[in-house]
Structure 1
Amino acid sequence: MTNKTNTARSVAEALRVRVLNNEAAAGETLDTIAGLMDEYGVARETIRAAVAMLAAEGLVRSVHRRGVVIQERVARRRIRRGQAVTRNPRYGYVFPATHDPGEKWVAHGQPYRSLEPAPAAVAETFGVVAGTSVLRRRRVMSPESEPPFQLVDTWLSPQAVADAPQVAEPSTGPGGYLDRLEEAGHGPISWQETTRVKMASAEEAKLLGISTALPVFEVTMVGHSARDDQPIEVTIKVIPGDRVELVTDLVRAESAAWPVSPVEVS
């Protein structure tokens, strides 16, 4: 390990103590980069490296023209991700949750829809050329009185919009856009979900109020039409890595039954 790295880690540890001792409140500036350079007598590169270490822990983020801003600390949620899709008579389908189903959630800002160039992965899923304009419905959500918890993008295929034009309207009616798609001949829709860890993009970090140094969970759900088994919707949830812990209850297979069966020796 180089002296430069050692110095950055030492500065990071000093800053961590200041943050955890609540030297500044969440949303306030701990100090400017220039101020920290003077205080610790190190180069800008060293301060930036130290701040990046704390940003990766979800403690701070660097904001242009402000300096090092304290992040609001939120208790991690232990989430058991199941496989069952249920239905609420009032709201429609309910998918394996990232929160307590009885908890009140709110939107940050106004949810909106727009035609956007399809990202490569979405375009490939829909079988269109990357950059093709595709309908996106976007919202930033969280439990009431908490900072943004997840960014949710729902992309709807051109065929889905053609078959069920109401999915492009501000209000999609009872049951939401999924009910409109199924009524248009795509029901019952089936889904496949994939989860991966990645670094937040600049846009995602801005909407979630986090640093680009903080890893995020990306949960992608693809809905397939029952009519032709083609993908008609892709919903992508981006969740800061300091918000959740995914929990799985492991089940013993028959071969792992207890007590262990004696091994036959020939």
Structure 2
Amino acid sequence: MAGATQDRVTDALRRAIDAGEYPPGARLPSSEELAREYDVHRNTAQKAVRQLAAEGYVSITRRHPPVVRERPRHLTVVRDRSVYRDDIGYFFDKNAQDWRALAPPTRGLAVPPEHVADLLEVPRDQDVFARVRKMGPPSAKVAHQLATSYIPMALVAEIPSLGAADTGPGGIYDRLEEHFRAPLEWHETVSARQSNAEEQSALGVPASSPVLVVTREARIRRGDEVVVAEVNETRMAAAQFAVSYVVRRDQSAEWHGEEGAA
């Protein structure tokens, strides 16, 4: 019953925020006020507010009332197994085609996460070259995506422009295709996990918020060899984004209805 009571308060506050009764920057009533308004115990009101914070609706600071966060519209990140191109270069999400870096990208040496090192086929404790971008619509106050490109140092030595501040038209993907004289291929894996401190700061999410992680390998052929030239990890607030893709029929699942009807 206690959980159901907490859910009732959380649902009511969530609806009020979505309806604009508490706009971004507004303060929610105190736990005591919420307890009186919804006829619940103060602890129940506190738990309801903490749930809203976990969902990204409010920010909680010790000894201060909860503040309603500015929430980007819910955006479906379309991953339809297609890559697109415009006059700037390749992009992987039509909904984010107009997004740009909200601050100058950072670059330098970094030890990648272990699974990224394994994909790049480098030792787990070895530095690679990392390029980090905070992405979002031009009007965004916080990043909607945090994207990090990991590139093997041997490849940066071979193609110095991959480590340059300005990688030129089309970015690192055009430089790779020019160098190898071959088309890139990409493979993506989507997962979720709890956010870390860097992501919480960049995306403006609370410590309890999970992130959606898209890990993309960029592969290219060098003769008979397939090289993993880059691994990109894009992170976004899981409460604000979803993944959508087309489900395609395998040959084994082809429809034979018309033949059956005949």
TM over 0.5: yes
Alignment of 1:1-266 (within 5 A): 3=2, 5-6=3-4, 8-13=6-11, 15-16=13-14, 18-20=16-18, 22-30=20-28, 35-36=30-31, 40=35, 42=41, 46=44, 49-63=47-61, 66-88=64-86, 90-92=87-89, 94-99=90-95, 101=97, 104-146=98-140, 147-185=142-180, 187-227=182-222, 228-251=225-248, 255-259=254-258, 261=260
Letter matched to residue 72 of structure 2? V
Paired with 2:145 and 2:260, the residues of 1 have a C-alpha distance of 47
Paired with 1:196 and 1:69, the residues of 2 have a C-alpha distance of 29
Paired with 2:260 and 2:148, the residues of 1 have a C-alpha distance of 50
1:163/1:57 CA distance change after superposition, 3 Å: same
1:24/1:76 CA distance change after superposition, 3 Å: closer
8 Å contact from structure 1 (residues 195, 217) kept in 2? yes
Letter matched to residue 82 of structure 2? A
Structure 1 unaligned residues grouped into runs of 5+: none
TM-fit CA distance, 1:120: 1.1
1:255/1:168 CA distance change after superposition, 3 Å: closer
Paired with 1:47 and 1:260, the residues of 2 have a C-alpha distance of 61
TM-fit CA distance, 1:161: 1.0
TM-fit CA distance, 1:163: 0.8
Q: Secondary structure at the match of 2:122?
A: coil
Letter matched to residue 237 of structure 1? T
Partner deviation per Cα, 1:133-161 (whole Å, 9 max, x = no partner): 22111111112323522111111111221
TM-fit CA distance, 1:236: 1.0
Name the TM-score, length of structure 2 as normaliser. Answer: 0.79
Q: Secondary structure at the match of 1:192?
A: strand
Partner deviation per Cα, 1:150-184 (whole Å, 9 max, x = no partner): 11111111122111122112101122112223333
State the superposition RMSD in angstroms: 3.1
Paired with 2:146 and 2:175, the residues of 1 have a C-alpha distance of 23
Partner deviation per Cα, 1:9-58 (whole Å, 9 max, x = no partner): 35434543553454543144436xxx4257538566x5553233213433
1:248/1:117 CA distance change after superposition, 3 Å: closer
> Which moved further from structure 2: 47-56 or 160-169?
47-56
1:181/1:17 CA distance change after superposition, 3 Å: closer
8 Å contact from structure 1 (residues 152, 238) kept in 2? yes
Paired with 2:116 and 2:52, the residues of 1 have a C-alpha distance of 33
1:66/1:176 CA distance change after superposition, 3 Å: farther
TM-fit CA distance, 1:201: 2.2
Aligned length: 253
Paired with 1:64 and 1:116, the residues of 2 have a C-alpha distance of 34
8 Å contact from structure 1 (residues 84, 95) kept in 2? no
Structure 2 unaligned residues grouped into runs of 5+: none
8 Å contact from structure 2 (residues 31, 46) kept in 1? no
Q: Secondary structure at the match of 1:233?
A: strand
8 Å contact from structure 1 (residues 148, 208) kept in 2? yes
Partner deviation per Cα, 1:56-89 (whole Å, 9 max, x = no partner): 433223245655221223332344422333444x
Q: Secondary structure at the match of 1:225?
A: strand
